[in-house]
Amino acid sequence: MSAAHLMAGAPFARQPDRAAADFGYDDRIVRMFVLATLFWGVAGLAMGALIAAQLAWPGLVLDASWSTFGRLRPVHTSAVIFAFGGNALLGTSLYVVQRTCRARLPGTFAAEFVFWGYQLFIVMAAVGYLMGVTQGHEYAEPEWLADIWLTIVWLTYAGLFIGTLLRRTEPHIYVANWFYLSFIITIAILHVVNNLSLPIAWNESKSYSLFSGVQDAMTQWWYGHNAVGFFLTAGFLGIMYYFLPKQANAPIWSYRLSIISFWSLVFMYMWAGPHHLHFTSLPDWTQTLGMAFTLMLWMPSWASTLNGFMTVSGRWDLLRTDPVLRFMITAVMFYGVATFEGPLMGIRTVNGLSHYTDWTVSHVHSGALGWNGYITFGALYYLVPKLWGRERMYSRAAIEWHFWLSLAGIMLYVTAMWGSGVLQGLMWRAHTELGFLKYSFTDSVVASKPYYWARLLGGTLYLAGFLVMVWNVYRTIAAAPVTRRVPASNLVPAE
């Protein structure tokens, strides 16, 4: 029996609601992506806790190269970004595009290929990292064979999504699909261009980039920054623009503002990459251009933040009784904070203090854990009962525990790394009256040690909250399905 059949079997047996059945939506593939999201979430967060422990306790390394921080760190980043986040984006996008277009996915085989092909890419990348087979480009570490495979899978996914849009019976394309489509197209372009390389032989895994020197750095951070902009921002805004109004049972506050935010984000994000290369050999005019567009990103980012908050205006009392909506609104809050801090750190003067320090780690994780994590949790809590035909999640108390454990973890993590980063920046800049450095690099490492223990505790709390969610989802799926008859007159395409 195949793994796909096992995932469709008990306790994961399909129990669709009548609306999904009548419109012929392919929810089986969405369920598979949901389960993969949970699996890779546990793996990625556990790996993060492990490498955080290594930084706090450097002796926590086996006598093997694959157990070192340099090998495990890309496993963690790829697992949480591309495995956890990627599966969440693929699953929710295929759910949303069917509902908002009132159309089924154009092909079952293509959907299955995208799912299994994407999981294979994740495994290929992780094995390569542990073996030391990487390109050395942050967030683009997989070598050329894995890159080609991902390109094939991604183009199939793009065809699946666009094909559903083309066969829609609803004339209007909802704004969430705009954000999803921009994420799909832009990531394809970024991936192909940044990974242009020449293998040393067709039977060898090693390759060399077509770019070198300043051009290589420029291309890498054109990719790196826009991977954040379109994978972790635009894609997850697609999740927000669909699931937040559904959970709040209210329309988006300003549809016009969402369109303005979309086009502004698409235009401005592409130019902001050079702010990652302040105080390097990159030409000054390029750094200034990147800084200028970074500052302009405040506008589209906060437009979506405002839209999210105002959507629940007049319904704030629901935050006391609805923990799922609380996850989503807290995610919007973290999105606003992260998109304020990002342009601030892109200013050259501020960057002189923050660059290469743990302040950057704090900023990245406030967005990743607070924005990407929380909006994903909210969407999954919304989806699971509907995909498996249950009345509600098994335990509301477990959702509450998940929220407060993870929130405590985020706050501890972010504040610890922010404190460590500012301390490092100040120590590296300090000098004596004679102009010599006042502290050695080792001094700053020793001073950061207590903050690393606090970071480990924060990450562990976040992981503990996620494990509570996994247990809650399992109990929800394993529970007896709800059996109820729905009058045909009550059927609607969007659930």
Helices (H), 132-234: 144-166, 175-194, 213-226
Structural domain contains residue 6: no
Phi and psi angles of residue 33, each rounded to the nearest 5 degrees, phi first: -65, -35
Q: Does any domain span residue 5?
A: no
Q: What is the pLDDT at residue 7?
A: 37
pLDDT score at 209: 94
How far is Cα 27 from Cα 266, in angstroms, rounded to an integer? Answer: 30
Total number of domains in the chain: 1
- Amino acid identity for residue 299 in this structure: M
Residue 351 or residue 107, greater confidence: 351
Instruction: Output 483 or 279, whichever has higher pLDDT.
Output: 279
| Dist. CA 274–CA 5, nearest whole Å | 47
Q: pLDDT tens digits, residue range 444-488? A: 999 999 999 999 999 999 999 999 999 999 999 998 675 444 444
Per-residue pLDDT band at 14 (split at 50, 70, 90): very low
Predicted local confidence at residue 62, as pLDDT: 87
CA–CA distances in Å: residue 353 to residues 217, 285, 347, 394: 21, 21, 10, 47
Q: What percent of the chain has pLDDT over 70?
A: 92
Element containing residue 209 per DSSP (H, E): strand 207-209
With tokens 């991936």, the residue in question is 191
The stretch 231-236 carries a mean pLDDT of 97
- Decide if 494 is inside a domain: no
Q: Pick the residue with more confidence: 61 or 489?
A: 61
| Averaged pLDDT score across all residues of the chain | 92
User: Is 70 exceeded by the pLDDT of residue 6?
Assistant: no
pLDDT in tens, 368-403: 999 999 999 999 999 999 999 999 999 999 999 999
Give the type of residue at 182: S
Q: Which domain holds residue 312?
A: 13-482
Does 7 map to a domain? no
| 24 band by pLDDT with thresholds 50, 70 and 90 | confident
Q: What is the pLDDT of residues 142-184, one digit of tens each?
A: 999 999 999 999 999 999 999 999 999 999 999 999 999 999 9
pLDDT of residue 40: 98
> At residue 491, does pLDDT exceed 70?
no
Three-class SS state of 1:
coil
pTM score above 0.85: yes
- Beta carbons of 127 and 184 less than 8 angstroms apart: no
Query: Which single residue is written with the structure tokens 């967005």?
Result: 367
Which domain CATH number covers 96?
A: 1.20.210.10
What dihedral angle (degrees, nearest 10) is formed by the CA atoms of 470, 473, 474, 476? 160
8 is a domain residue: no
Q: pLDDT tens across 431-453, in order?
A: 999 999 999 999 999 999 999 99
Would you call 46 exposed, middle or buried from its count of C-beta atoms within 10 A (0-12, 13-18, 19+)? middle
**Rounded CA separation 355/276 (Å):** 8
Residue 135 confidence class, pLDDT cut points 50, 70, 90: very high
Query: What's the pLDDT band for 22 if we cut at 50, 70, 90?
Result: low
Q: Is residue 3 part of a domain?
A: no
What confidence score (pLDDT) does residue 287 get? 95
The percentage of residues in the chain with a pLDDT greater than 90, rounded to a whole number, is 88
Q: In one letter, which amino acid is 463?
A: L
Q: What is the pLDDT of residue 481?
A: 73
Q: Is residue 493 part of a domain?
A: no
Average pLDDT over residues 63-70: 93
When pLDDT is cut at 50, 70 and 90, the band that residue 5 belongs to is very low
193 has pLDDT over 80: yes
CB atoms within 10 A of CB 250: 16
**What pLDDT does residue 203 have?**
87
Q: Does residue 70 form part of some domain?
A: yes
pLDDT(86) > 50: yes
Q: Does the pLDDT of residue 8 top 50, yes or no?
A: no
